[in-house]
Structure 1
Amino acid sequence: MRSLKFAVIGLLTLVVAACRTVPVQNVTSQPFPADVTKLSMAQIEESIIKAAGDRQWIVQHKSDGELIATYSPRTHVAKVKIDFDQSAFSIAYVDSSNLDYNGTSIHYNYNRWVNNLRQDILREVSARATLAN
């Protein structure tokens, strides 16, 4: 009887551990601080690339106001599109591997990585705008 309890507890632990996916959270029209309007599009792009690079995201310029960023810690890969203008930016899911993406949900770490990227972009762009004054 005791080993049956341990087997059930072990099975429940595995089920809970496997359910580590959450809905994908994109960043939509995140406004920059007001003083960022003094920066050119090129300066904003450079700031976004620096912020992403500081977190080991690999960034590719796709077109004016559009970047593709890839993050690949260990065996996981997350790819996002960063759209921006002089007033706001967005981060949207593009692709992933080994993150259990099913069309709506993804491994819970993905949202943390994107939120860290969002915060770092805001911080870097704001710092650059302050220096431009």
Structure 2
Amino acid sequence: MSSLLRAALVALTLLMAAGCTSKPIVTPTRTLAPQVQASQEEVKQAIITALAKREWSVQRVNPAQVQAEITVREKLHVEIDINYSANGYNITYRDSSGMDYRDGKIHRNYIRWVTFLDQDILAELRAHHEQPTARAIGVGEAQPISQ
């Protein structure tokens, strides 16, 4: 076999391997630790804030679900559902285009986007939990007047 043909076969093999970017779909599911006490409204706000930070568009907000989508470079489009309660949330794949979804596998970018979104939601919940409340620092409470 000539070296030119061998180089062409190696290049073709590498291109095919690079094209295989599908990974099993993930569904991040989080149960909040007891020390992170959050209301359902606070969980919803953390989700919406994290979505905005990652440039996802909120499509619809229901009492226990946020639906969102993202379009990247006008070619890759993903839609997700985030079901939530005061105890936690999960991020579920709904639909996509340009992401090669097939047989429970999807483009690796989806995995990365959802993982980063999950981390940002957790960070928002932690940040909210660590902020002192007005009552904890004494704001708004009647103080005795010293004479």
Q: Is the structural similarity TM-score above 0.5?
A: yes
Distance 2:86 2:27 in 1: 19
Is the CA contact (8 Å cut-off) linking 2:80 and 2:94 kept in structure 1? yes
Matched-pair identity in %: 31
Alignment coverage as a number of residue pairs: 131
Question: What is the aligned partner in structure 2 of residue 66 from structure 1?
Answer: 65
Native 8 Å contact 1:36 1:87 kept in 2 = no
- SS of 1:43's equivalent in the other structure is helix
Secondary structure of 2:36's counterpart equals helix
TM-score, normalising length from structure 1? Answer: 0.90
1:20-44 deviations in whole A, cap 9, x for unaligned? 111101113x12243432x332222
Q: Could you report, residue by residue, the CA deviation over 1:77-112 in whole angstroms, capped at 9, with x for unpaired residues?
A: 111100010111100100011010013111111101
Which of structure 1's runs of 4+ aligned residues deviate more than 4 A?
none
Structure having greater relative contact order (Cα 8 Å, sep ≥ 6): 1
Please give the alpha-carbon distance, in whole angstroms, between the structure 1 residues aligned to 2:61 and 2:50: 17
After TM superposition, the score normalised by the length of structure 2 is: 0.82
**Aligned mates of 1:130, 1:103 — CA distance in 2:** 42
Structure 1 match to 2:46? 47
Which structure has the highest helix share of the two? 1
The residue identity in structure 2 corresponding to 1:18 is: G
